[in-house]
Structure formats: C-alpha cells, structure tokens
C-alpha cells in the first residue's frame, strides 16, 4: 500500500549535541580514573606513572562535564530542584548525586596520592571504582530508559557505554603520557614500556567494544519494526557514514590494526591510533544520541 | 478538585472526523500555546494510487497514559499523575531537561519557546475541574471527540467504548493510553515522514 504523510507535527530534538559531549566527557573521566587505580589500588607497579595523571584528568573532565548539562536544560537556575525533588525511578536523579560524590572522591583520592599516603589512596581508589563505573553507567541507563527509541532501549546500552569509556580513557591516557613524556618530564623521554603495554590493553578493549556494537546491531536487525528502522538508519541511512566509516572503521578497526600488527608498532602509529580512537568515540556518542531520536515516532 | 473515583478518558471517533483542525486551533487559543509548537494536531496521510486515493486524519493529543513513562523518568517529579488519570506538568518545578520528551512514545511534548520548560496537552484540566468539557471537545463541529468518566457507566464515553471496537496508539509500549480511537488506521500511526 502506498502511503505518504501529508501533514504532521514533529517537535524539536530532545537530547542534542550537548548531551553527546557530556556523555563523552564522563566516559573519558571514568576511563582515566580506572586506569589511575591500576597502580594505586591494585598494585600493578608498571602503571605507577598513570596514577597522578589519571586522577587529575578524571577530576578536570568531570568538573567540565556537568556544565554541558546546564547548557542543555531549559531552566538552569532551577538545577537545585534535582537535589530537592527526588524521583528515584529516574536515572537523572541517580546521576545528580553521582556527579557530586564522584568528583569529591576524586579530589580526596588525588590529595592523598600527592601527599604520598598510600593506604588512604588505596581506600579512596577502591571507593572510586564503583563510583566511576556508576557515573558513566548511569548515562547508559538514561538512554536505555527512553523506551520510545529503539536504538536506546536495550539492556546492552550501559555496558556498551562503559566499554567505550574505557577505550577512550586508555587512548586519552596514551596521548597525555606521550605529551608529558616528550615535553614536560625532567628527562624529556617517553616511557616506551608503559605506552606499549597501554596500547596492547587498548587493542583488546577495542575488540570487546566491537563485539558489543556488533551484538547490538545483530539483535536490532531482527527485532521489532522500530528497531529495524534504527538498524537501517545506522547502516544505510543518514548516519551510515558517521557510524560505519568514522566510528567503526577509522575509530576502531584501523587503530586496532595499527596497534596489533608488530610491523607497525612504533610511537608514531600508537599516537595516530590513539587520536583516531579519541575522535571515533566522540562520534560514537554523537551517533547513539542523535540517531536514536532521528526517526519520527508518529 | 480531583476525585479518586473518577477515571477520565478521551475518545476520537475517526468515522466522524473530517480533519478540519478546529481542535488544533481552539487548543492554541485556550492554552496560550506559542507559535511553532502544538498540543493537539491532526496528522494526515494519503493512501493508494490515483484514482483510488483516500486521505485519513489522525487527531493527536496527549494520551494521559495510565502508566506514563514521562512521569517515571522525570528527575524532579514535575510530571504528576492525578488520581483521576490526568497527567500534567508542574510548570514551577520543571527544569527543561527534555527527558520526558525523549521517553514519550507519542512525541506530544514540546519545550515552550518562551518559558523553556516542557508542556503538553492535559485535557484542559482547568476546565475539567470547573465542570466544563475540554476545549477541543466542545468545539469539534462533528462531535467526533468525547470526554468523560470511564468509571461512570451512565457517561456517554463509557457507553460508546463498551459498545464499539476501540483502539489506542502504540499499545505495545505498555503505557496504557487513555485516549481511545474508533476506526484507527494502522498506516496513519505507522507511516512516518521520509528522512530528510
């Protein structure tokens, strides 16, 4: 049956670019924090240089992230309502507390680390890990609770967000370690062992992330009609270039090849791969948020 | 004002609807709805090939669902489900985060361009509380819209729903919409505009 819409009203976009940026920044922050606890929490000595870098990055990124929420909401002077009128069935209410507790914990953890109090650093590192996972995982729940949108409303969303958070966190950490080693350290040399062990970690996290994206797509392709529409939007519609080329080929598959093939392994390719990953994960957030609400509902 | 024993519902009899948009216009003037946004509108689709063509109208208002996802996800409890079934937004509490708009399966909410908070149809609760019918109901020229209390077996809407085949938009969303339709066309619901 040939049908076409003659007249309809669609209202403006709901979650836009600012929310995508916010998700991206919390992801980077959570990833950096988890890397910083590898040595100070779990005692992996080879990652010791990451500790201080990680906690500083995590704190700075998470102080900037909520600013984008304030840009997004219509009535920012009413933001205090979030802490007074609580609705525990809403992920945003969970988030408003996580966004306060997590940076406070980051700062305490960082202060003890810089003072050299290893015991308390370890304690606040362990408190911080569930907070870091929650502060990014809850953003996955925000989208998963948007039950009208087939692309968002899947249980894989929080874990997909966490995997891409760790991927982008490792890539950012590689870049920061390269810059610090090259320009700001006393010896002006780069700690190659650290960079290559991080790049190995990054490569296998990319594989896990690709697996999650693939399983999400596979289930979308055989699910109900809205989900199939979302599947076609990602693979053949307006978002196919960003999704396939920028996010997955340039942002995941190419960096993976650069990182695992031994012939390519040097500092230049690691740098290129990390830049590609950091950019690619930004477009992952962008595609998930905007493609999810792209298809009209009625 | 609200009474616990009441359960309001709205019914669009699409056999009578002529797609004249009177409901859209009276809603604008009754509720002071700004330009570019609508609380009630008539979606129109065209089916078939010439000369076998038919236009179908689908008037859309908020479904005032029995299990509203917008109220579940509102982080500041600005969305409120009244005991009589009307879902409304507290304009003094809403922060304009748009989460309700993202989760509503019907796309009936909008951000007021002046106040920057979420708004939607609430079946003219100010009129209902004063004992009047919603504005669209009283102005519909063909009487295609009914509004009333489903718990009162004597009310017209309860009798019409009891005796006719009725349908709601997207029942699969599990929201139990309380805006019913007679003669709802599946294509009118499912056809969406081509992506631009």
Q: Residue A173: pLDDT above 60?
A: yes
Q: What are the pLDDT digits (tens) for B170-182?
A: 999 999 999 999 9
Q: State the pLDDT at residue B10.
A: 96
Mean pLDDT of A12-41: 92
Q: State which residue of chain A sits closest to B70, comparing Cα positions.
A: A146
Angstrom CA distances, A33 to A41, A214, B128, stand at 11, 27, 54
Average predicted confidence (pLDDT) for chain B = 93
Name the CATH code of domain A17-292 (choices 3.50.50.60, 1.20.1630.10, 3.10.20.90, 3.40.50.970): 1.20.1630.10
Q: State the pLDDT at residue B4.
A: 54
**Is A298 within 8 Å of B106 when comparing Cβ atoms?**
yes
**Is A146 within 8 Å of B187 when comparing Cβ atoms?**
no
Tell me the C-alpha distance between B127 and B134, whole Å: 6
Average predicted confidence (pLDDT) for chain A = 92
Mean pLDDT of A9-22: 91
Q: What are the pLDDT digits (tens) for B133-149?
A: 999 999 999 999 999 99
Judge whether A72 is closer than 8 Å to chain B, CB to CB.
yes
Of B46, B72, B76, the CB nearest to A4: B46
Judge whether A238 is closer than 8 Å to chain B, CB to CB.
yes
Please, are residues A91 and A141 in contact by the beta-carbon 8 Å criterion?
yes
Q: State the pLDDT at residue A13.
A: 84
Judge whether A189 is closer than 8 Å to chain B, CB to CB.
no
* Model confidence band, residue A264 (pLDDT cutoffs 50, 70, 90): confident
Mean pLDDT of A202-207: 95
Greater model confidence, A160 or B193: A160
**Is A90 within 8 Å of B72 when comparing Cβ atoms?**
yes
Mean pLDDT of A222-246: 93
- Which residues 74-133 of B are in CB contact (within 8 Å) with A? 74-78, 93-99, 101-107, 109-111, 115-118
Q: State the pLDDT at residue A239.
A: 93
Tell me the C-alpha distance between B1 and B97, whole Å: 29
Tell me the C-alpha distance between A181 and A248, whole Å: 30
Tell me the C-alpha distance between B119 and B33, whole Å: 9
- ipTM of predicted assembly, 2 dp: 0.89
The pair of three-digit structure tokens given for residue A231, joined into one six-digit string: 């599947």
Of A5, A75, A297, the CB nearest to B105: A297
Give the SS3 label for residue A168.
helix
Tell me the C-alpha distance between B109 and A212, whole Å: 33
Q: Residue B196: pLDDT above 80?
A: no
Give contacts of B42 with chain A, Cβ < 8 Å. Answer: 7
Q: What are the pLDDT digits (tens) for B89-108?
A: 999 999 999 999 999 999 99
Mean pLDDT of B47-76: 94
- Residue of B44, B69, B76 for testing the chain A interface, max A β-carbons within 10 Å: B76
Q: Which helix (H) or strand (E) holds A95?
A: helix A91-115
Q: State the pLDDT at residue B1.
A: 47
* Model confidence band, residue B85 (pLDDT cutoffs 50, 70, 90): very high
Judge whether A78 is closer than 8 Å to chain B, CB to CB.
yes
The pair of three-digit structure tokens given for residue A29, joined into one six-digit string: 């922050």
Give the SS3 label for residue A90.
coil
Mean pLDDT of A150-176: 95
The pair of three-digit structure tokens given for residue A262, joined into one six-digit string: 């031994």
**Is A6 within 8 Å of B46 when comparing Cβ atoms?**
yes
What beta strand segments (E) does chain B contain?
Answer: 8-13, 41-47, 54-60, 79-81, 87-89, 110-111, 118-119, 145-149, 179-182
Greater model confidence, B118 or A192: B118
Q: Residue A202: pLDDT above 60?
A: yes
Q: State the pLDDT at residue B195.
A: 60
Mean pLDDT of A50-79: 93
**Is B60 within 8 Å of A75 when comparing Cβ atoms?**
no
Q: State the pLDDT at residue A3.
A: 87
Q: What are the pLDDT digits (tens) for A70-123?
A: 999 999 999 999 999 999 999 999 999 999 999 999 999 999 999 999 999 999
Q: Residue A39: pLDDT above 90?
A: no
Mean pLDDT of A10-16: 87
Domains of chain B and CATH, by start:
8-190 (3.30.70.20)
> pLDDT above 90 covers what percent of chain A?
77
Domain range annotation of chain A: 17-292
Q: Are strands B54-60 and B41-47 parallel, antiparallel or unpaired?
A: antiparallel
């Amino acid at each position: 049956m040939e049908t076409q819409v003659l007249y309809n009203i669609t209202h403006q976009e709901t979650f836009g670019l600012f929310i995508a940026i916010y998700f991206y920044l919390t992801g980077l922050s959570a990833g950096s924090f988890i890397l910083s606890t590898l040595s100070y929490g779990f005692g992996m000595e080879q990652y010791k240089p990451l500790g201080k870098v990680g906690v500083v990055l995590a704190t700075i990124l998470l102080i900037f992230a909520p600013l984008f929420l304030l840009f997004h909401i219509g009535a920012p002077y009413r933001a205090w309502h979030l802490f007074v009128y609580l609705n525990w069935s809403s992920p945003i209410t969970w988030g408003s507390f996580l966004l306060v507790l997590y940076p406070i914990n980051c700062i305490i953890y960082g202060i003890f680390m810089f003072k050299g109090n290893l015991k308390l650093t370890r304690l606040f590192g362990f408190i911080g890990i569930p907070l870091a996972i929650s502060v990014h995982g809850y953003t996955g729940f925000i989208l998963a609770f948007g039950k009208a949108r087939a692309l968002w409303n899947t249980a894989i969303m929080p874990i997909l967000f966490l995997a891409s958070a760790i991927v982008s966190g490792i890539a950012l950490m590689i870049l920061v370690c390269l810059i610090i080693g090259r320009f700001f350290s006393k010896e002006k040399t780069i700690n190659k062992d650290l960079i290559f062990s991080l790049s190995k970690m990054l490569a296998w996290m990319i594989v896990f992330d690709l697996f999650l994206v693939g399983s999400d797509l596979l289930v979308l392709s055989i699910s109900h009609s809205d989900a199939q529409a979302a599947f076609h939007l990602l693979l053949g519609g307006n978002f196919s270039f960003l999704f396939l080329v920028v996010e997955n080929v340039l942002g995941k598959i190419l960096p993976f090849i650069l990182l695992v093939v031994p012939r390519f392994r040097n500092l230049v390719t690691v740098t290129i791969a990390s830049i590609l990953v950091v950019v690619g994960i930004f477009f992952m957030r962008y595609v998930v948020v905007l493609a999810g609400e792209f298809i009209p509902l009625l | 004002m609200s009474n616990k024993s009441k359960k309001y519902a709205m019914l669009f009899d699409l056999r009578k609807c002529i797609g004249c948009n009177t409901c859209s216009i009276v809603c604008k003037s009754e509720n002071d709805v700004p330009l570019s946004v609508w609380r009630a509108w008539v979606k129109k689709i065209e089916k078939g090939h010439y000369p076998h063509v038919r236009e179908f109208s689908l008037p859309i208002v908020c479904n005032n669902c029995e299990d509203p996802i917008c109220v579940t996800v509102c982080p500041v409890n600005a969305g409120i489900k009244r005991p009589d079934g009307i879902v409304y937004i507290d304009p003094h509490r809403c922060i304009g985060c748009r989460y309700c708009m993202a989760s509503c399966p019907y796309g009936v909410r909008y951000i007021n361009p002046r106040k920057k908070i979420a708004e939607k149809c609430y079946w003219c609760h100010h009129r209902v509380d004063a004992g009047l019918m919603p504005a669209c109901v009283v102005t519909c020229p063909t009487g295609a819209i009914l509004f009333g209390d489903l718990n009162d077996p004597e009310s017209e809407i309860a009798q019409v729903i009891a005796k006719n085949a009725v349908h709601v938009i997207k029942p699969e969303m599990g929201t139990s919409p309380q805006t019913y339709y007679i003669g709802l066309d599946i294509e009118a619901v499912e056809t969406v505009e081509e992506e631009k």
